[in-house]
Amino acid sequence: MKAAKTLIVQVLRQPDKMQSMSMKEWDLLIRQSRHADMLAHIYALLEQKNLLASIPTKPLAHLESANTVVKRHAQAIRWEVHNLRKALETADLPLVLLKGAAYLIAELPPARGRIFSDVDILVPKAKLNQAEAALRLHGWDASHHDAYDQRYYRTWMHELPPMMHNQRQSVVDLHHNILPETARFHPDPAKLLESAISAGNTPQIKVLAPVDMVLHSATHLFHEGELEHGLRDLTDMDSLLRYFSSIPSFWEDLDARAKEMDLVRPLFYALHYCSEILETPLSATIIQSMKRFQPAWPLVSIMDALYGRALSPVHPSCSDWLTGFARWALYIRSHWLRMPAGLLARHLFHKAFYSKKPE
């Protein structure tokens, strides 16, 4: 698989390799890592393995700079989470964090070296209006003002248009599900909220249960059409799987939850590519179970050719003549999974011919 042959993936698999790399290899690794938004992740990996002292001065300067940015970013996100909690308390709602912010507040391994552009939160659909009103009262405003975009999000999507704070410019994505209402698969958001657990010592701040966190990560990546950060997201899943595997019955619970939530297919792809690209250790139980749900081998071969390229960093050293096509094909697939053909055709026609173009 092409992604597995990139230098950054070789380093993720075998961090000790960095002790003997040439300056030319370091130059390439820094470029690939920067394009994958994983430069600080490499620093965190070296720190975890006690290898920082063995790294040449010039590459280390780039890594330390990225780590400084991530630490400052983490401080800002913690402050945003504090303000979001206060805002939702006025609507008598807990703050349920998703993805990057959840990893940070719950102090999970994927948070090391992780930077993200927004805070994702989950509320019951019946409370969506109250949550939105509470955020508006505390300074967050809608960032999409086009009438069609507003209707598109509110009628068919699993989230409202992104909301930006009018002073701090922080962005919040307010979700009521983890997939659009028109998607092929239909996870039950009520079950996600019911199983959410407290993050640390603050009962009003929650994150998804371990199995649901893995399923959401898998669903997000393998329904996403823009994969610029695909390797970073796959690395998140690798970290979650390695960390949660120490929980008794985790693999059995993950298998059962995927079936219950109608998310077996994205979980299959997540486990398949974590194993193939990052050599994530999986239990024999989950491997055997997923074999019963995997697509026919011609489709798996096609997906390997596509994701094997698209999960690489967007850098010339990681691309071949098929990489552009692979990314385009998966972009089309993401829309195909998101909504029925008729609605998709109407949506794409409107965006092509009626939506306002930026000046």
Q: Give the per-residue SS3 of the chain.
A: CHHHHCHHHHHHHCHHHHHHCCHHHHHHHHHHHHHCCCHHHHHHHHHHCCCHHHCCHHHHHHHHHHHHHHHHHHHHHHHHHHHHHHHHHCCCCCEEEEHHHHHHHCCCHHHCCCCCCCEEEECCHHHHHHHHHHHHHCCEEECCCCHHHHHHHHHHCCECCCEEECCCCCEEEEECCCCCCCCCCCCCHHHHHHHCEEECCEEEEEECCHHHHHHHHHHHHHCCCCCCCHHHHHHHHHHHHHHHCCCCCHHHHHHHHHHHCCCHHHHHHHHHHHHHHHCCCCCHHHHHHHHCCCCCHHHHHHHHHHHHHHCCCCCHHHCCCCHHHHHHHHHHHHHHHHCCHHHHHHHHHHHHHCCCCCC
Token code pair at residue 191: 């079950």
Of 141-155, 176-190, 325-339, the range with the lowest mean pLDDT is 141-155
**Polymer length in residues for the chain:** 359
- The residue written with tokens 């063995």 in the block is 54
Predicted pLDDT of residue 359: 43
Q: Which of 44-58, 289-303, 328-342 has the lowest mean pLDDT?
A: 328-342
Provide CB contacts within 8 A for 66, sequence distance 6+.
34, 39, 40, 43, 113
Residue 100 is predicted with a pLDDT of: 92
Contact of 51 with 15, CB cutoff 8 Å: yes
Closest CA to 277 of 33, 40, 46, 6: 6
Position 282, amino acid: L
Whether residue 146 contacts residue 154, with contact meaning beta carbons closer than 8 Å, is answered with no
217 vs 344, higher pLDDT: 217
- pTM (predicted TM-score): 0.91
How far is residue 59's CA from residue 52's CA, in Å, rounded to a whole number? 11
Give yes or no for a contact between 215 and 268, defined as CB atoms under 8 angstroms apart: no
How do strand 140-142 and strand 202-207 relate by DSSP bridges?
Answer: unpaired
Top pLDDT among 145 and 49 is at 49
Give the whole-angstrom CA distance, residue 300 versus residue 244.
Answer: 27
All structural domains of the chain? 2-353 (3.30.460.40)
Report the alpha-carbon distance of residue 228 to residue 318 in Å, rounded. 12
* Among 209, 229, 187, 180, residue whose Cα is nearest residue 102: 209
pLDDT digits (tens, 9 = 90+) for 68-95: 999 999 999 999 999 999 999 999 999 9
The answer to whether 94 and 204 are in contact (CB under 8 A) is yes
Res. 204: pLDDT tops 50: yes
Residue with tokens 């938004």: 37
> Where is pLDDT greater, at 12 or 142?
12
Each residue's pLDDT tens digit, 275-312: 999 999 999 999 999 888 888 889 999 999 999 999 99
Q: pLDDT band for position 348 (50/70/90)?
A: low
Are the C-beta atoms of 278 and 9 separated by less than 8 Å? yes
The mean predicted confidence, pLDDT, of the chain is 90
